[in-house]
DNA sequence: CACATTAACTACCGCTCGGTAGTAAAACGT
DNA sequence: ACGTTTTACTACCGAGCGGTAGTTAATGTG
C-alpha cells in the first residue's frame, strides 16, 4: 500500500512478495505452524531459503507477518459479509448462508488460521496466544451489533444480547473444528441449519 | 484388568505403568502431540528413553495407546455425567453444570485431548484422523438420547432432535477451544449460561 | 565502465528429533 | 550356584530442523 515500487537500487526480486505470502499462508493454514518446515515453505514457494530469510526474517517472524496479513484480510471479509447481510434476523441468516458457502469450498475448508494456531500453540506459545485478542474483540463487537439489531427494541436486554453473542462465537469456533475435522457438506449444512433454528428463537 | 501381576521371570519394572501413562497423557494433553518430544516425556516420567520404547513402542504407538486410554476414561466419565444428570431439560442443565465444574479446574482446562489432537493432526495426519470417529459417534448418541428425553412427546421430531444434537456437539467443540484459548472462569460461565438459555427454549 | 547495492544461490553449521544397539543389573526357575 | 529372562542405563545414529556465512548475478548511479 505504501511505496511498493519505490525500489531504488540493486537487483530486483524475481518473485512477487504478495503472491509468495499467499502460498505460504495456504501452507501454514493447512498444515499448522509446527508441522510446516522451512523446507516445505521453500518447496511451495519456489523461493530459496536464504531469500525467504532475508525477506521475511525467521520462521516465527514470517508466521507473525502472515497471521497479521491473514487477520486483516479476514476482518475485511467479515465486515463485507456483515454489511451485505443487512439488519435483523434475516441478516444473521444471510451471514450464516455466506459462511456456509465459504466453508464447503475454497479457503474456508481449513478452518480459521487464527483459531487453529491458537489451539496449536496455546500450550507452548512464545507469544502467539494473545495475538488475536484484538481481532476476536472486534469480531465479537460486530457480531454483537448484528445480533442486537435483530432484537425487538422493546425486549432488548444487554445481558441477553451478550449471551447470544457468546453462543454465536462459541458456535463459530465449534464450526471451525467441525470443518477442520473433515466434515462433509451435509454435516456442515446440518450444523448451520441448527444454528439458524436457534437464531429464529431470537425473534 | 487382565493378568496385570502374572509376571513370570526377569527383572521387575521400577515404575508403575499406569502412573507413567497418566503423566505422559497430561503432557500430551497440555502441549499437543508434535510439540511434545521424547525428551520431554523422559523428563516428565523419570523413565529412561529406552524403557519407554521397550514398554510402549514408538512415539506414535505410545500416543495411540494414550489416546485409547483417554477415550475410554472420558467416555466412562461422560456416561456417569449423563447418568447422574437425570432426564429432561433439568438433566441437560445438570450436565452443563458438571461440565462447568470440570472446565474451570483440574483436567478439563486443557480441553479435550481428542479434539486437540484431531485439530492439530488433521492437516498432516498419519491415521489419527479417524481415531475418534467411534467415540464421537457414541458421545453423539448419548447426547441425542438426553436431548430426546427432554422433548415433550407430542412435539418430538427426529430432525429437530438431530439439529439440536448437532448444535450441542458444535457448542461443546467451541467450548473446548474457548477453554484452551485461556478463557477465565467468568467467560466460561457466560458461554455455558448462553447454552443453558438456548436449551430452555427447547421446553 | 566501474561501483555500490540488492537479490539469488550454494554450502554449511549446531542442534534436536525419533529411534536403536549393546551392556549392566535385578529378578526368576532349576 | 547357574543360566535365563526381563528391565535399566549408556552411548550413539542418521535425518531433519531452523538459521547463516559467503559467493555469484543483476540492477541502478556516477
pLDDT in tens, B58-114: 999 999 999 999 999 999 998 888 888 888 899 999 999 999 998 988 788 899 999
Classify residue A86 by its DSSP letter.
-
Alpha-carbon separation of residue B120 from A9, A35, B36, B62 (angstroms): 44, 9, 12, 17
The span from the CA of B53 to the CA of B38, in Å, is 10
Which residue of A35, A191, A198 is in closest CB contact with B124? A35
Indicate whether B196 pLDDT > 90.
yes
Residue with cell 481449513: A110
Segment holding A28, helix H or strand E: helix A17-31
Tell me the pLDDT tens digit for each residue of A29-57. Answer: 999 999 999 999 999 999 999 999 999 99
Interface test with B, best of A119, A121, A187 (most B CBs within 10 A): A119
* pLDDT-above-90 percentage for chain B: 67
Provide, in whole angstroms, the distance separating residue A7's CA from nucleotide C2's C1'. Answer: 22
| Set of chain A residues whose Cβ sits within 8 Å of the Cβ of B160 | 197
- How many CA atoms does the CB half-sphere of B80 hold within 13 Å? 8
Q: In terms of CA atoms, which chain A residue is nearest residue B123?
A: A31
Strand D footprint nucleotides (protein C-beta < 7 Å):
4-11, 16-22, 25-29
Whether residue B1 is predicted with pLDDT greater than 50 in this model: the reply is no
H/E run at residue B76: helix B59-85
Residues in chain B: 203
Q: What is the pLDDT of residue B3?
A: 39
Using pLDDT thresholds of 50, 70 and 90, give the confidence band for residue A125. low
Indicate yes or no: CB of B177 within 8 angstroms of CB of A115. Answer: yes
Q: Is the CB of B127 under 7 A from strand D?
A: no
A89 within 8 A of A95, measured Cβ to Cβ: no
Per-residue pLDDT band at A126 (split at 50, 70, 90):
low
Kindly tell me if the per-residue pLDDT of B190 is higher than 90: yes
> Between B32, B119, B174, which is nearest A180 by CB?
B119
Distance CA B174, CA A179 (A): 12
In this predicted structure, what is the pLDDT of residue A106? 79
**pLDDT reported for residue A2:** 39
pLDDT band at B121 (very low <50, low <70, confident <90, very high): confident
pLDDT at B126 > cutoff 80: no
B45 touches strand C (CB under 7 A): no
Interchain CB distance below 8 Å, B201 and A197: no
Question: Could you report the per-residue pLDDT of A58-81, keeping only the tens digit for each?
Answer: 999 999 999 999 999 999 998 888
B35/A34 CB distance under 8 A:
yes
Q: Which of B54, B67, B57, B55 is nearest to B28 (CA)?
A: B67
Q: What is the CA radius of gyration of chain A?
A: 20
pLDDT at B131: 67
Residue A196: which of A91, A106, A124 has the closest Cα? Answer: A91
* Angle, helix A158-180 to helix B113-121, in steps of 10 degrees: 60
Query: pTM, whole model, 2 decimals?
Result: 0.90
Residue B47: pLDDT band (50, 70, 90) is very high
Looking at per-residue confidence, does B3 or A118 come out higher?
A: A118
Look at residue B33 and tell me whether its pLDDT is greater than 80: yes
State the pLDDT confidence band at B125, using cuts at 50, 70 and 90: low
How close B32 comes to chain A (CA, Å)?
A: 7
State mean pLDDT over B14-36.
96
Helix (H) or strand (E) segment spanning residue A158: helix A158-180
Give the mean pLDDT of B112-136.
79
Segment A130-189, tens digit of pLDDT: 667 888 899 999 999 999 988 887 777 888 999 999 999 999 999 999 998 888 899 999
**pLDDT at residue A153 in the model:** 78
Chain B interface, mutation test: which of A166, A175, A185, A195, most B Cβ atoms within 10 Å? A166
Q: Which of B122, B164, B198 sits opposite A180 (nearest CB)?
A: B122
More confident residue, B120 or B165: B165
Among residues A173, A182, A103, the alpha carbon closest in space to that of B129 is found at A182
| pLDDT for res A91 | 92
Mean pLDDT of chain B: 89
* All residues at 6 or more sequence positions from B187 whose CB lies less than 8 Å from its CB, including other chains: A166, B178
Percent of chain B with pLDDT over 70: 92
Nucleic strand C under 7 Å from the C-beta of B22 = no
Cβ partners under 8 Å of residue A123, min gap 6: B30, B31, B32, B35, B110
Amino acid at each position: 500500500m505504501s511505496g511498493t515500487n519505490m525500489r531504488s537500487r540493486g537487483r530486483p526480486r524475481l518473485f512477487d512478495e504478495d503472491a509468495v505470502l499467499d502460498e505460504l499462508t495456504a501452507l501454514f493454514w493447512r498444515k499448522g505452524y509446527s508441522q510446516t518446515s522451512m523446507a516445505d515453505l521453500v518447496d511451495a514457494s519456489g523461493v530459496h531459503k536464504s531469500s525467504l530469510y532475508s525477506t521475511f526474517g525467521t520462521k516465527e517472524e514470517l508466521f507473525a507477518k502472515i497471521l497479521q496479513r491473514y487477520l486483516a484480510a479476514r476482518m475485511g471479509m467479515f465486515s463485507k459479509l456483515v454489511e451485505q447481510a443487512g439488519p435483523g434476523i434475516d441478516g444473521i441468516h444471510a451471514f450464516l448462508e455466506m459462511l456456509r458457502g465459504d466453508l464447503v469450498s475454497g479457503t474456508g475448508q481449513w478452518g480459521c488460521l487464527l483459531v487453529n494456531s491458537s489451539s496449536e500453540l496455546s500450550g507452548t506459545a512464545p507469544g502467539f496466544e494473545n495475538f488475536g485478542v484484538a481481532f476476536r474483540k472486534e469480531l465479537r463487537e460486530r457480531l454483537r451489533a448484528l445480533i442486537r439489531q435483530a432484537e425487538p427494541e422493546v425486549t432488548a436486554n444487554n445481558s441477553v444480547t451478550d449471551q447470544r453473542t457468546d453462543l454465536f462465537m462459541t458456535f463459530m469456533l465449534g464450526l471451525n473444528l467441525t470443518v477442520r475435522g473433515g466434515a462433509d457438506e451435509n454435516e456442515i449444512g446440518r450444523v448451520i441449519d441448527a444454528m439458524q433454528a436457534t437464531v429464529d428463537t431470537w425473534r
